Amino acid sequence: MPLFPNVINSKLPQVGTTIFAVMSKLATEHKAINLSQGFPDFSCSLELIGLIDKYMKGGFNQYAPMPGVLKLREMIAEKTQKLYGATYDPGTEITVTAGATQAIYTAITAMIHENDEVLIFEPAYDCYIPAIELNGGKPVFYQLKAPNYTIDWTEVQKLVNHHTRMIIINTPHNPTGSVMSAEDMTKLEKLCKNTDILIISDEVYEHILFDGQTHQSVARFPDLINRSFIISSFGKTFHTTGWKIGYCLGPKNMMEEFRKVHQFLVFSVNTPIQYALADFLKNADNYLGLNEFYQQKRDYFNKLIAGSRFGCNPSTGTYFQLLSYEGLSTEKDTEYAIRLVKEFGVASVPVSVFYHQPKDNHVLRFCFAKQNETLEKAAEIICKI
């Protein structure tokens, strides 16, 4: 089709094809074992699928209420109360969203005005910056300290000023697999005291922590709760990333603004899945077993690659493992990741792409949410490199 010139003044001129798409395409072309994609290659629960079938056949196929099916919001409130001791009113403080991405976009759109500064920790999941910029906000960056990707809160404090409107945290953390401690959270609490800073806490991996650690949800911290949106994703918890369903928790006054945007962005989220999830959440084993499930995968993968020349600091949460190729090559991580697909047949994601200006620590992200057979094939290749 002929293009009409000069009609498009891009709002996101920097955004092009993501490395995720590039790596996946390359992986397919080269028939590589794909550990670049951040989602499981195994099935979700058949019981859950059966429940959706039941509700679809039972006629639950029209619009859900704008904030979500009440039964599901009640189950989310119950889970949050049990796990983190926080009380959220299903009527006014919980909204079901089309995945965490929509919740993050909605929260930023509801709260960020022109020239507001939003502090984010890099490397960062890729949907934060575009959402901030589309709303006229300015992202301000703090670089987590490699190799364990920790936070020095005295340095963070120096980035905060009277323009700072929001801080976005993500624990457990994609792409690094690091986890914020209770001490981190109390330091964040202290930093926010006597300010009007809001928080988005991206907790989509809340049920994937290893070695007996406890998830430090913002919901555990009374001085953070009243200024925070907490966002989670059923996609991560129930191996159903393709269903795009999650939720947002927040105090009533913030949630009111959130819902104003939500109702014009999506209005509501698909109905039968919400009813099915409400039933499925009744059995806490369905999500509490996830730590153990993924810890076994992490340990299995790490054992398989123990003899390789890659450096490995075991991941402490999420389903990602970083591997360092320091000493193996001096190439940029983007080039090295591409070479691994083309020459060796294994796909990963270079961590530099999670920075607004590429910062290269010579590390690659591998996703171990894969069947053991996939992990074995990938490890065999990794050990040969």
> Helix or strand or coil: residue 16?
coil
Please tell me whether residue 125 binds ligand PLP under the rule CB under 6 A.
yes
CA 34, CA 202: separation in Å to the nearest integer?
Answer: 25
- Contact indicator for 375, 304 with CB cutoff of 8 Å: yes
- Residue 329 CB neighbours (<10 A): 14
Give the residue, chosen from 100, 119, 167, 340, that forms a contact with ligand PLP under the rule CB under 6 A: 100
Please tell me whether residue 201 binds ligand PLP under the rule CB under 6 A.
no
Query: Measured from the CB of residue 99, what is the shortest distance to ligand PLP in angstroms?
Result: 3
Give the residue, chosen from 68, 177, 235, 317, that forms a contact with ligand PLP under the rule CB under 6 A: 235
CA 177, CA 207: separation in Å to the nearest integer?
Answer: 13
Give the residue, chosen from 38, 139, 177, 317, that forms a contact with ligand PLP under the rule CB under 6 A: 38
Please tell me whether residue 204 binds ligand PLP under the rule CB under 6 A.
yes
CA 143, CA 267: separation in Å to the nearest integer?
Answer: 36
Please tell me whether residue 271 binds ligand PLP under the rule CB under 6 A.
no
Which residues are registered as beta bridge partners of 359? Answer: none
Q: Which is nearer to ligand PLP, 126 or 380 (CB)?
A: 126
Query: Measured from the CB of residue 344, what is the shortest distance to ligand PLP in angstroms?
Result: 25
259 Cβ contact list (under 8 Å, min separation 6): 66, 67, 95
Please tell me whether residue 233 binds ligand PLP under the rule CB under 6 A.
yes
Alpha helices in the chain (DSSP H): 19-29, 46-57, 70-84, 99-111, 128-134, 153-158, 182-192, 222-225, 234-237, 252-265, 271-280, 285-288, 290-304, 333-339, 372-384
Binding segment (CB under 6 A) for ligand PLP, from list 47-55, 94-102, 339-347, 366-374: 94-102
Cα R_g (the chain), whole angstroms:
21
Query: Measured from the CB of residue 332, what is the shortest distance to ligand PLP in angstroms?
Result: 23
Query: Measured from the CB of residue 293, what is the shortest distance to ligand PLP in angstroms?
Result: 18
Please tell me whether residue 270 binds ligand PLP under the rule CB under 6 A.
no
Backbone angles phi, psi at 352, to 5 degrees: -60, -25
Please tell me whether residue 174 binds ligand PLP under the rule CB under 6 A.
yes
Q: Which is nearer to ligand PLP, 174 or 271 (CB)?
A: 174
Please tell me whether residue 101 binds ligand PLP under the rule CB under 6 A.
yes
Contact set with ligand PLP (CB under 6 A): 38, 99-101, 125, 170, 174, 202, 204, 233, 235, 241, 244, 246
